[in-house]
Amino acid sequence: HVQLVESGGGSVQTGGSLKLSCVVSGDKWNNYCLSWFRQRPGKEREGVAAIARDGTSTYAGSVKGRFTISKDNAKNTLYLHMNSLQPEDTAMYYCVAVSACWWYGDQLNIRGYTYWGQGTQVTVS
């Protein structure tokens, strides 16, 4: 079982930056695909970034070049650095650990054991 606790959300002006953190605990947490999803108002949840066990990071087209996903194995923490934030980035952001994840076009798919954090709100105005 894996537990995830996000922090770092808040309100920021257009063009600003935020860093989200997610403390991950549980057995063999680093064996999972770690990712960030978001749910914008009135829209379905969407994957924005994922990082594989070997550290390879991948992104949705809408955030590529602006967001950076990273992890600190020593601190059991996943990060999402968000720059050049736009109002359309306003959403609840979730940290997710999943057995397997892959991109199909611009859609991040997940399968297997899946664990979600409680979410942290990001508001850009």
For the chain, give the percent of residues with pLDDT over 70.
Answer: 100
Query: Mean pLDDT lowest for which of 12-16, 54-58, 66-70, 94-98?
Result: 54-58
User: How is residue 3 annotated by DSSP?
Assistant: E
pLDDT confidence of residue 62:
95
| pLDDT tens per residue across span 6-60 | 999 999 999 999 999 999 998 777 789 999 999 999 999 999 999 988 889 999 9
For residues 93 and 73, which has the higher predicted lDDT (pLDDT)? 93
The predicted structure's pLDDT at residue 21: 98
Q: What is the mean pLDDT of residues 62-85?
A: 96
Q: Give DSSP secondary structure letters for 9-56.
A: -EEE-TT--EEEEEEEEETTGGGSEEEEEEE-TTS-EEEEEEE-TT--
